[in-house]
Structure 1
Amino acid sequence: MKTEGGRFSRGFKAALLETMVKTPAVEPAPRAGSTSAGSAASAGKFDTSFETLPAYQAFRTQRAVADALHLNFPFYRVHDAMAGARSVIAGQPVVNFASYDYLGLNGHPDITAAVIEATKTWGTSVSASRITAGERDFHRQLERALADIYEADDALVFVSGHATAISTVAALLGPKDLILHDSLIHNCVVVGAQLSGATRRPFPHNDLAGLEAMLAATRDKFERVMIITEGLFSMDGDGPDLARLVEIKDRFDCWLMVDEAHSVGVLGATGRGIAEQAGIDPRRVDIWLGTLSKTLVSCGGYVAGSRPLIDFLKLAAPGMVYSVGMPAPAALAALTAIEIMRREPARVARLQANGQLFLRLAREAGLDVGTSAGYAVTPVIIGDSLRTVLLAERLLKRGINAFPIVPPGVPEKSARLRFFISSEHTEAEIRAAVAATAEEVAGVEREGISLGTIAKLMIKRAT
């Protein structure tokens, strides 16, 4: 894209306007004339087109802008190789900062061997829900290993991490209860809270004084109250003060749920998560929630806690009762990953060192890393969505894959490139990635590319 004095060229503006003119808004289907009485009376009266959904209209506009900027669609991009610290996209080798294989275990020979043997022995499905005919010993082995991480009585594994949170929250709470969650909590918790029928109120991100004030004002109006946070936030790379959270939940008689999706294998000297890092007895947290798809390179989710909690969820959580049991290959992949994490703590140490290096270099380069603590997740906050997508495209051309996160994945005006750090990234790769990012950020700022500029062109088109 050519610019004039660091701004959009006239040729680019003309090309953009022409592209957008060729992408007209989709009008609702015309209403048919009224008919005789009966069920046919409303035929054609209401819009049944998917194309007229407001979100789809916004998507079409975004694609038009991307086409005018010669940007490839950044979503659902195909990888041509096993993704870890490195990958291959469209035939091009890349250093990969978009996958959450934090300890580099995807493709580990021990895990591959365990999965092959499990498939030979058990097949690819248990062919039933666990409550009926799908219970297997490997489920219980994995659950014991997960419970051990938290010194918990027991654990329960689900076939979906997202469904784990939805099912657990929805099963435990009802209309007489209150859910207080961090404002940046993952979507799965929000959906579970909505389905529960409980009152849901977010507190400002990691603002425990704000949480305490909300409890002081409302605790006695509800039967049960659950506080929900994350061990490491997936968009910002920071976490809460667990010691203070435990004290607050005890004082106000609440349940505390901590989502460890991005903190197991990442926090603590041996990767046992935020409780190990904070020096807190993990049994002081009521509900540990997590996924098997990040550090544990499998698929599914888990809950760990007291025996009554797990016994209850076995009978009441929809994602457990009405879903197929976890297949052997997924269970054995996660179980073997836990065993490797235990015997190779050097992987955790390398990950943490790499995370701190990335954070330090990014700050030195003047990049906005927000509140990241420099573990496995560090964002480079850009603000403008269009600039963020453009940056990701330019970095990809330089062999660096960092995914653009834009609203609604993050709040408005806080679009960012998210860098997932792995124990297997080299120092040279991290240094090169930070340097390239700083160069490209400076470039798009000089060019003045932004959604605001595009909006002005859209207004020009409309008038």
Structure 2
Amino acid sequence: MQSAPGAYTIIGGRQYLYFVGTGYLGLHGHPEVLRAACEATEKYGMGSATSRRGFGNTPPTLDVEARAAEFFGKDDAMYFMTGYLGNSVLVQGLAGTFDLVAVDESSHYSVMDAAVLSQRPIVKFANRNPESLAAVLAEHCTDGKRPLVITDGVFPVRGIIAPVDGYYRALKPYAGSALMVDDAHALGAVGPTGRGSLEHAGLPWETVNTNVQPDGAPRLFVSGTLSKAFGAYGGIVPGSADFIDALKADSPYYRAASALPPANAAASAKAFELVRDHPEMLQRLRDNVKLLRDGLRGLGLDVDDSLVPIICLVLDTVERMKQVQAELMEQGILIAYNPKYSDLGPKGGIRIAVFATHTKEMIQRLIDGVAKVLAV
């Protein structure tokens, strides 16, 4: 890659119409985001060269937490090295509050890593299947065991939303239960205001990432990343003041790891500002997703009407999917064939990402290109 990822991206010296990756709002090359990163580097250097428990809290680091809290309607937030660690940050912060971890079998590798880190028994349930979860809980959560369920909010290649409301209902009979969601592909892109899969499902957002278990209902937790829809970098956990204070006090990622570079923090803060001030970004993304999904369905492809900006096509053979990718690449259009990923079956799948910065003409060009390839 020889340019910022965007609607057009230079790969290997050639400019492609780009439908790959995770830059859903098109902010990775936004001039204000880049300017914020450059100015922060000039003022604060490459990094603080110490942990946040020491003297590593530069103004951009504190700013991104304040802006994240504002965007998510919370008191505070914890900003850390990478969204991949979000589940681990939460699992460590919740230590002692659960006895067993139940994981959606197609969850991201980072979810599995966090489950192992918990040092609690791990069981898996069938992908996107609340009935399977209920059966697993009935079998394993005897004698007052408190289950923690962990899942992706949006599965990263198939682009399917987890039935988190169904998981929530399955947990209700178990006192002290909790649902944790890795919302890396949903925050900023899914939900009425971009707050992700829990907001999309209508679950009580005010209880998310708090120390409260309302009326005995399952507790709700979420983590995410700023490297996808928000166009910058770093992991984020927004929450109530007491929850975030406790998380920071206990987290080795806060007290023992170097703080993120000021450039990343400043870019992230600016991205939050842009998304806040320009809600039309999210609407453009939704309009583009609908346009592409409708167009692909019109070609007879199995595409649902979700507003998730990820479309997965699984064709009859691996060779056919590779052919589609290669022939579109010859046309100057880039999509991704993924032979293997956490949420894919044995054939893999074609992953198409939609951005807010794609125009109607660009999307129609992709639809026409797919139609041409499939007609051969």
Q: What TM-score does the superposition give when structure 1 sets the normalisation length?
A: 0.72
Q: Find the counterpart in structure 2 of residue 41 from structure 1.
A: none
Q: Amino acid of the residue matched to residue 277 of structure 1? A: H
CA RMSD of aligned residues (A): 2.4
Q: Find the counterpart in structure 2 of residue 457 from structure 1.
A: none
Q: Give distance in 1, aligned partners of 2:71 and 2:180.
A: 16
8 A contact 1:160–1:299 mirrored in 2: yes
In the TM superposition, residue 141 of structure 1 has moved relative to its aligned partner by 2.4
8 A contact 1:170–1:193 mirrored in 2: no
Q: 2:181 aligns with which of 255, 258, 282?
A: 258
Secondary structure in structure 1 of the residue aligned to 2:283: helix
Greater than 6 Å deviation, 4+ residue runs:
none
Q: 2:205 aligns with which of 266, 276, 282?
A: 282
Q: Find the counterpart in structure 2 of residue 147 from structure 1.
A: 69
In the TM superposition, residue 428 of structure 1 has moved relative to its aligned partner by 1.9
Q: Find the counterpart in structure 2 of residue 319 from structure 1.
A: 253
Percent sequence identity is 29
Q: Give distance in 1, aligned partners of 2:143 and 2:246.
A: 25
Alignment pair present for 1:159 and 2:81: yes
Q: 1:115 aligns with which of 30, 37, 42?
A: 37
Q: Give distance in 2, aligned partners of 1:339 and 1:309.
A: 24
Q: Find the counterpart in structure 2 of residue 271 from structure 1.
A: 194
Q: 1:355 aligns with which of 289, 303, 308?
A: 289
Looking at CA atoms only, which structure, 1 or 2, has the larger radius of gyration? Answer: 1
Q: Give distance in 1, aligned partners of 2:165 and 2:207.
A: 10
- Aligned 1:21-420 pairs, distance under 5 A: 79-170=1-92, 172-173=94-95, 177-221=99-143, 223-252=145-174, 253-285=176-208, 286-369=220-303, 373-382=306-315, 384-420=317-353
Q: Give distance in 2, aligned partners of 1:315 and 1:132.
A: 12
Secondary structure in structure 2 of the residue aligned to 1:140: helix
Q: Give distance in 1, aligned partners of 2:291 and 2:189.
A: 15
Q: 1:363 to 1:90 in 2, by over 3 A?
A: same
Q: Find the counterpart in structure 1 of residue 361 from structure 2.
A: 428
Q: 1:440 aligns with which of 352, 373, 376?
A: 373
Deviates more, 1:125-134 or 1:246-255: 246-255
Q: What TM-score does the superposition give when structure 2 sets the normalisation length?
A: 0.88
Secondary structure in structure 1 of the residue aligned to 2:46: coil
Secondary structure in structure 1 of the residue aligned to 2:314: strand
Aligned residues: 364
In the TM superposition, residue 429 of structure 1 has moved relative to its aligned partner by 1.6
Q: 1:271 to 1:167 in 2, by over 3 A?
A: closer
8 A contact 1:236–1:372 mirrored in 2: no
Q: Give distance in 1, aligned partners of 2:103 and 2:240.
A: 21
Q: Give distance in 2, aligned partners of 1:348 and 1:393.
A: 31
For residues 303-339 of structure 1, what are the alpha-carbon distances to aligned partners after superposition, in whole Å with 9 as ceiling and x for unaligned? 2234444233323333333311111111111111111
The answer to which structure has the higher helix fraction is 1
Q: 1:91 to 1:138 in 2, by over 3 A?
A: closer
Any gaps of 5 or more consecutive residues in structure 2? 209-219
Q: 1:278 to 1:149 in 2, by over 3 A?
A: farther
Q: Give distance in 2, aligned partners of 1:142 and 1:273.
A: 18
8 A contact 2:98–2:147 mirrored in 1: no
Higher RCO (CA-CA < 8 Å; seq separation 6+): 2
Q: Amino acid of the residue matched to residue 352 of structure 2? A: F
8 A contact 2:108–2:343 mirrored in 1: no
